[in-house]
């Protein structure tokens, strides 16, 4: 079997540690067989290194490669795509580790670790991911530095210092690349995904319990920066999917029809703001009800929902304008009104019997809505995150039996009662409110702010918002979810805590994360163009940026090269080198001149052959110099001082012997 490369176990351990560090973050994202495959390969390499055993033969490695390719095809059905490509790269890196038979193989394996560290960003681009990747790069670079120590094992502090210095020197080039590298719209590097991963967020359907489960999540849905802040927190209704169709248990959005333009009457000053939306793999964008100006790359549906041209698979920043108080929809189509009245024939029989008489009384739509809201206010309804399960007809059971529910229970039952009374009604889902971060002033809207409300149609007013939750729990509208539900209801810890220092810490971390999202991850093509324009570079194309990038990088590398050259020229000779040069002068006086290309080991052997009587002293001088010059750190220890003194004594003795003819051999 072929032998492995001549690699010390210390260097092998550094390579293995680098591979483990860059592979570990991928474990939750790849199939379980991949983790087992990589662990087996790493253990085989450790065993071969400890026992000095030969590496697997190429036929066996080909078999391993076939197993890896087959596993990828079985798991993903293709070798193309983000997940399949990363899984294959992990497996092939382990296989490369098992065939390191030359210095080239070693270098390729270490360089592969850099690529694996980069692939972490395909899954997440958080601050923690960036810091972890920097640590991994420091470790990999240190591994490469340690591989260059051939005279003896490298010391950890020396390797760590050199690796850190190299990374610091790369920072200017990194900044230039960040600012000038042309940005490409779309997901990271445009790498396609085979399928969208499930994400926490709203859906275009609603059934009992769906929003109450979502409200247990503390994940951020989006952040908002206001140019014109709202006058009242009650205006912060963030419009999302609008639900029309009811099957007796679940509300669904159904078919969407887009609008090229629509008419509305604004009854209050418009709000202007920018939203940084977290990816949710859907196409809807959230704006304050009612949108007056659409974000770029979006359209408006007939029910006033803003829809993006493409699914939101990466963090998106967009500007919008809304009219929080408005009159719209007076020109609703008959087909829409008919759809907003539809109910399954067997749905909610007790509820229908209760409201049947309202229609006969000749009440207007708004009067019927007030009568429904009075039921929530006067009856013992409870707003809670832990509603009991509804196994029968959900509306009848909620209204007449359990009377405990979350916003979806109230919105669903309100819509059924209004439709049964002959008033066109639809359900609107989205978010309500948000929390101002006092550190950076951004409004943070979390998944726990998910909400559902209703809109009824009247001939004079059009579509009018009615929030039945406000009838049973006004605190939900005015102060947020945490103050509205019972203290016994489960909520995320940071939403319930009263510890001021913990709340402050959370705000500061949110502000740091937001700054990272806005200025690093949010450095899009549009922002890049705007940033370069502020320096006078107008109408900059990608060709111009590439040329500027090459020039700037060349200038930085040239500056480093000149600085290193000047430093080497001005660097003072240390004590060990002075002694060695003095020794070379003594030998030159005796007729043995060191060649410019001659190393200390070869020179010592030649001098010892020339003067056999001084072989022991000459050999000792060579050993001391090699140990002090190539085997130690820059910081001398006590033993170094003793060796320097001994080296000085031996050279002085040779100098005195050369000065005395009687002692010259």
pLDDT in tens, 260-279: 777 888 888 999 999 999 98
Q: Where are the alpha helices (DSSP H) in 590-637?
A: 600-610, 615-630
Confidence of residue 519 (pLDDT cuts 50, 70, 90): confident
Q: Which structure tokens are listed for 186?
A: 């779309």
CA nearest to 263, candidates 319, 350, 328: 328
DSSP tag of 238: E
pTM: 0.71
**Least-confidence region, from 122-131, 182-191, 383-392:** 182-191
Q: Which structure tokens are listed for 612?
A: 């056999």
Q: Which H or E run includes 104? A: helix 103-119
Q: Which structure tokens are listed for 187?
A: 């997901």
**Least-confidence region, from 76-80, 198-202, 326-330, 596-600:** 198-202
CA 313 – CA 186 distance, rounded (Å): 8
259 pLDDT more than 90: no
536: left (phi over 0), alpha (psi -120 to 50) or beta: left
The pLDDT of residue 415 = 95
Confidence of residue 158 (pLDDT cuts 50, 70, 90): confident
The pLDDT of residue 6 = 61
Q: 119 with 93: CB under 8 angstroms?
A: no
pLDDT digits (tens, 9 = 90+) for 45-72: 888 888 788 888 888 889 989 999 999 9
184: left (phi over 0), alpha (psi -120 to 50) or beta: beta
Our CA angle for 365, 368, 369, nearest 5°, is 85
pLDDT digits (tens, 9 = 90+) for 594-613: 888 888 888 889 888 888 88
CA 433 – CA 476 distance, rounded (Å): 9
Domain ranges of the chain: 9-148, 206-252+270-492, 575-663
* 92-112 mean pLDDT: 89
**High-pLDDT (> 90) share of the chain, %:** 33
CA 159 – CA 165 distance, rounded (Å): 10
Confidence of residue 195 (pLDDT cuts 50, 70, 90): very low
* 348 three-class SS: coil
**Least-confidence region, from 172-176, 440-444, 501-505:** 501-505
Beta strands, E only, 323-438: 326-328, 382-383, 404-405, 425-432, 435-436
The pLDDT of residue 197 = 38
Q: 289 with 238: CB under 8 angstroms?
A: yes
The structure tokens 């359209």 sit at: 299
Q: Where are the alpha helices (DSSP H) in 342-385?
A: 349-360, 365-378
Q: 1 with 58: CB under 8 angstroms?
A: no
The pLDDT of residue 155 = 78
* 128 three-class SS: helix
194 pLDDT more than 50: no
Cis peptide before 290 (omega within 30 of 0): yes
* 625-649 mean pLDDT: 75
Mean pLDDT score of the chain:
84
Catalytic residues: 407, 451, 467
């Amino acid at each position: 079997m072929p032998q492995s490369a001549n690699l010390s176990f210390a260097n092998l351990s550094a390579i293995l540690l680098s591979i483990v560090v860059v592979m570990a973050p991928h474990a939750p994202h790849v199939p379980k067989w991949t983790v087992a495959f990589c662990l087996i390969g790493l253990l085989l390499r450790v065993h071969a290194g400890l026992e000095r055993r030969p590496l697997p033969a190429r036929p066996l490695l080909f078999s391993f490669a076939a197993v890896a390719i087959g596993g990828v095809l079985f798991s993903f059905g293709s070798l193309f795509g983000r997940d399949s490509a990363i899984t294959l790269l992990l497996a092939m890196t382990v296989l490369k580790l098992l065939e390191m038979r030359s210095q080239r193989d070693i270098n390729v394996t270490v360089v592969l670790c850099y690529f694996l560290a980069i692939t972490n960003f395909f899954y997440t681009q958080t601050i923690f991911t960036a810091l972890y990747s920097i640590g991994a790069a420091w470790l990999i670079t240190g591994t490469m530095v340690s591989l260059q120590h051939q005279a003896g094992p490298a010391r950890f502090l020396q390797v760590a210092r050199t690796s850190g210095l190299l990374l610091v020197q790369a920072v200017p080039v990194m900044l230039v690349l960040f600012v000038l590298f042309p940005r490409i719209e779309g997901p990271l590097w445009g790498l396609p995904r085979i399928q969208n991963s499930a994400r926490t967020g709203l859906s275009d359907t609603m059934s009992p319990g769906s929003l109450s489960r979502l409200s247990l999540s503390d994940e951020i849905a989006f952040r908002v920066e206001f140019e014109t802040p709202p006058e009242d927190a009650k205006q912060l209704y963030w419009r999302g999917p609008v639900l029309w169709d009811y099957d007796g248990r679940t509300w669904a959005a159904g078919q969407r029809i887009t609008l090229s333009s629509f008419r509305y009457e604004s009854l209050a000053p418009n709000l202007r703001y920018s939203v940084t939306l977290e990816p949710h793999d859907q196409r809807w964008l959230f704006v304050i009800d009612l949108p007056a100006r659409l974000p770029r790359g979006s359209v408006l549906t007939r029910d006033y929902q803003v829809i993006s041209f493409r699914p939101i698979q990466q963090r998106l920043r967009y500007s919008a304008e809304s009219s929080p108080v408005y009159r719209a929809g007076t020109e609703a189509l008959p087909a829409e009104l008919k759809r907003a009245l539809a109910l399954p024939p067997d749905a909610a029989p007790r509820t229908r019997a209760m409201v049947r008489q309202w229609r006969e009384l000749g009440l207007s739509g708004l009067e019927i809505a007030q009568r429904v809201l009075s039921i929530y206010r006067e009856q013992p309804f409870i707003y809670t995150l832990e509603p009991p399960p509804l196994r029968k007809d959900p509306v009848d059971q909620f209204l007449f039996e359990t009377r405990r529910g979350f916003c979806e229970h109230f919105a669903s039952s309100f819509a059924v009662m209004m439709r049964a009374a002959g008033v066109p009604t639809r359900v609107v889902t989205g978010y309500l409110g948000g929390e101002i971060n006092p550190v950076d002033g951004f409004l943070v809207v979390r998944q726990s702010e998910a909400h559902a409300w209703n809109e009824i149609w009247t001939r004079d007013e059009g579509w009018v918002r009615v929030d039945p939750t406000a009838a049973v729990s006004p605190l939900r509208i005015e102060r947020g979810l945490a103050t509205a539900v019972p203290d016994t209801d489960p909520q995320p810890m940071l939403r319930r805590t009263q510890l001021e220092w913990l709340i402050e810490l959370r705000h500061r971390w949110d502000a740091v994360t937001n700054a990272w999202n806005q200025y690093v991850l949010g450095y899009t093509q549009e922002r890049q163009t705007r940033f370069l324009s502020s320096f006078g570079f107008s109408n900059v194309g990608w060709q111009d940026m590439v040329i500027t990038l090459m020039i700037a990088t060349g200038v930085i590398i040239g500056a480093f090269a000149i600085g290193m050259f000047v430093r080497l020229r001005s660097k003072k000779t240390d004590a060990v080198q002075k002694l060695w040069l003095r020794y070379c002068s003594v030998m030159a006086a005796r007729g043995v001149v060191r060649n410019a290309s001659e190393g200390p080991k070869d020179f010592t052997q030649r001098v010892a052959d020339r003067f056999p009587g001084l072989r022991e002293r000459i050999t000792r001088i060579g050993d001391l110099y090699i140990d002090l010059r190539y085997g130690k750190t820059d910081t001398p220890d006590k033993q170094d001082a003793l060796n320097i003194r001994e080296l000085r004594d031996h050279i002085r003795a040779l100098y005195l012997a050369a000065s005395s003819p009687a002692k010259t051999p």
